[in-house]
Structure 1
Amino acid sequence: MPIRLRFALHGTRHNRVFHLVAIEQAQRRDAKPTETLGIYNRYIAKGQPQKTIEWSVDRIRYWLSVGAIPSKSVVKLLEMGNILKPGSQYHPKATGPPSEPISTTPKAPAAAADKVASA
């Protein structure tokens, strides 16, 4: 089973805390993880100027090196923490215009079908 880096949700209704965990992909959201890598509290505590996250950068890099796949939200957080570079291999591929122009000439099999239909 592939290992994923994703968030596990903990805490009470209006005081959610996210744990960054390495866990098997098929496990439920709050299952026992293989390893807890960090804690992200999205609420700003009194006296703190910004949100904080506590994580083990070495362990996160280890799991990425052995093939763990981070979720989209984890990729965003790792980029903000300068663990992953923007545009890394874990980003979903951007959909843009096709690289080749679309041909408007009919293909040979379609032309053969027209000949059969007219006969």
Structure 2
Amino acid sequence: MAMKLRLARGGSKKRPFYRIVAADSRMPRDGRYIERLGTYNPLLPKDSEDRVKMDIDRVKHWLDQGAQPSDRISRMLEAAGVIDKKERSNPKRAVPGKKAQERAEEKAEKARAAEEAANAPAEEAAAEE
């Protein structure tokens, strides 16, 4: 059985509240879980102590049993100092799309043409003198 540490959503519409749970990875997001490990309330300020509450001992127990934390849970555990920080590199994230690159090239060409047009009369006037 593949175990996951993940969030199970509760709360009403547009008022999210999450339980941090240990669950079988095949179960639905808000479905059956094995154990409740804590809570996460994203509506509270980031510096609030009540935003994330976890039973660290039980989380460590499940990690020792081979449970894999979801990305969001692993970030919370990194912030709590339970697990080491992972390297998250996405080099393509900063690269603009094709259309944006084409627009940038067109803009650079227009700027070069305008610069050449501005320099050409000045060079002709200097050549006449």
TM-score, normalization by structure 1: 0.67
Per the alignment, residue 25 of structure 1 pairs with 25
- Distance across 2 between alignment mates of 1:63 and 1:49: 27
Per the alignment, residue 58 of structure 1 pairs with 57
Q: Which has the higher contact order (CA 8 A, sep 6+)?
A: 1
Check if 1:69 corresponds to 2:64. no
Instruction: Name the CA shift for 1:49/1:5 in 2 (closer, same or farther; >3 Å).
Output: closer
Displacement after TM superposition at 1:80 (Å): 1.1
Instruction: Name the CA shift for 1:32/1:79 in 2 (closer, same or farther; >3 Å).
Output: same
Per the alignment, residue 8 of structure 2 pairs with 8
- Distance across 1 between alignment mates of 2:42 and 2:18: 8
The gaps in structure 2 that reach 5 residues or longer are 92-129
- Distance across 2 between alignment mates of 1:9 and 1:49: 22
Displacement after TM superposition at 1:32 (Å): 2.0
Instruction: Work out the percentage of aligned pairs sharing the same amino acid.
Output: 27
CA-based RMSD of the aligned residues comes to: 2.3
Per the alignment, residue 80 of structure 2 pairs with 81
Displacement after TM superposition at 1:95 (Å): 7.4
The gaps in structure 1 that reach 5 residues or longer are 97-119
